[in-house]
Amino acid sequence: MSNICVIGTGYVGLVTGTCFADLGNNVRCLDIDPERINKLNQNIMPIYEPGLEQLVSQNVKAGRLTFTMDYQEALKDAVIAFIAVGTPSGMEGEADLKYVRSVAESIADIVDQPIIIVNKSTVPVGTGDWVADVVTKRRAGKPLDFCVVSNPEFLREGSAINDFMMPDRVVLGSVDRSAAERVSQLYATLRCPILITDLRTAEMIKYASNAFLATKISFINEMSNICEELGADVTQVARGMGLDKRIGSEFLDAGLGWGGSCFPKDVKALAHMAVLHGTHPQLLQAVMDINRNQRRRVVLRLRKELGSLNDKVIGVLGLSFKPNTDDIRESPALDVIHLLQNEGAQVKAYDPQSMELVANSEKQLKLCENPYLVAEGADALILATMWNEFKQLDFEKIKASMKQPVIVDGRNLWDPDALSKMGFTYYGVGRGVKVNGE
């Protein structure tokens, strides 16, 4: 059992803190947002993450997990402090470290006991050294016994608790191997490979992993565009490729491209770091270009099918950047909606979790209570996010209520033959239908 403080209660901090508490540690989670902390203290989750509410409640009741805004209270007796605050993209794609700096300074101001500061936020390579510098300078004249460890996270939104409890690996980087080993004890019961490296290598592993996964998706999306031109089916191509163990079948689903709070920010930040240090990240640039273009291809397809999109009614199923989350950051669904609205289309949409969030920011978007109301009177229906509840819709009912039975299946979820037989004009992504791409 260790006394742990986790600073930042976003996806990463809240899941990490709760899971460490569940493993038997005494965890204090801190956030500077009063609304967030108030809600957490009433067991209201600030985010939608399957299983989280129950796990938080269990661990609060067991007395192992508390939430506070008070740094003194949060850091009291802590032997390890995790930094899990946001690192938003700056103007040039660089990661903005103002929140990380503020946490490092607060730790330096408050702590007197020996402490290991663990960086979980995704930060530019070299930030671990910089955090050590910030703390040392802040403590000038009154040295603190501390060490910085980088511990990148590999949690996926929507399956974050499982990913935490059953990781493929844990990566720890530090100039002080014994500090990294001390942190590794927190993960010992998870029985997964633990890789200990230097600080910068650990930080780089995180960027390289996300960039590789984004590359894999952009690769299959490029293949999907070629498949469309050549009359092949990308879903079968992906299956045929994925059975090769060297390739692997995950992250080979062609679609509207990747979004979320991680891939877009991290690929951009990695490319930015590369340019700053005089290298040419050509592959990363292509990976980002392909991703942007996947959204545009939907609009091109609809323009080709329907003519001008001005005043056409387009229904969109799904708004979150992927299923099982309410997160709409960099969501492909919203990008497509904006492109359609720019062409004068009237767009209506439904999502099982993120409608409240969207209602505040998307004033022109008509939100519907269910998928059938989205289809009603629509000239085309786009599937943007693969939520389970879209898997088995009543397509007879949908067809009867649409103005034109045109479907763009942006996630290759539905059966093209069945829908075509029912009289729909069906377009998937990379499923052998010719289209004039850009």
Residues near ligand UGA (CB under 6 A): 122, 153-157, 210, 213, 217, 251-253, 255, 257-260, 262-263, 321-322
**E strands in 8-122:** 26-30, 65-68, 80-83, 115-119
Residue 331 to residue 411: CA distance in whole angstroms: 13
Which of residues 255 and 428 has its CB atom nearest to ligand UGA in the complex? 255
Q: In what order do the strands lie in the sheet with 80-83?
A: 65-68, 26-30, 3-7, 80-83, 115-119, 146-150, 170-174, 194-197
| CB 68 to ligand UGA: min, Å | 24
Residue 142: partners with Cβ closer than 8 Å, 6 or more residues away: none
| CB 227 to ligand UGA: min, Å | 15
Distances (CA, A) of 381 to 70, 90, 106, 218, 406: 49, 35, 51, 24, 6
- 408 SS3 class: strand
Among 147, 227, 262, 368, the active-site one is 262
Residue 242: partners with Cβ closer than 8 Å, 6 or more residues away: 248, 249, 250, 252
Which of residues 134 and 223 has its CB atom nearest to ligand UGA in the complex? 223
Q: Phi, psi at residue 72, to the nearest 5°?
A: -55, -50
Which of residues 174 and 218 has its CB atom nearest to ligand UGA in the complex? 218
| CB 293 to ligand UGA: min, Å | 13
- Give yes or no: 262 in active site: yes
> Which pair of tokens denotes residue 253?
């689903």
Which of residues 233 and 379 has its CB atom nearest to ligand UGA in the complex? 233
Which of residues 20 and 424 has its CB atom nearest to ligand UGA in the complex? 20
Instruction: Say how many CA atoms lie within 13 Å of 74 toward its Cβ.
Output: 24
| CB 209 to ligand UGA: min, Å | 7
Which of residues 78 and 155 has its CB atom nearest to ligand UGA in the complex? 155
DSSP class per residue in 366-391: EE-SSHHHHHTT-SEEEE-S--GGGT
Residue 308 to residue 392: CA distance in whole angstroms: 31
Residue type, 172: L
Distances (CA, A) of 186 to 83, 221, 260: 16, 39, 28
Residue 370 to residue 340: CA distance in whole angstroms: 21
Q: Phi, psi at residue 231, to the nearest 5°?
A: 80, 30
Torsion of CA 183, 187, 188, 191, to 10 degrees: -150
Which of residues 291 and 346 has its CB atom nearest to ligand UGA in the complex? 291
Q: Which residues are catalytic?
A: 262
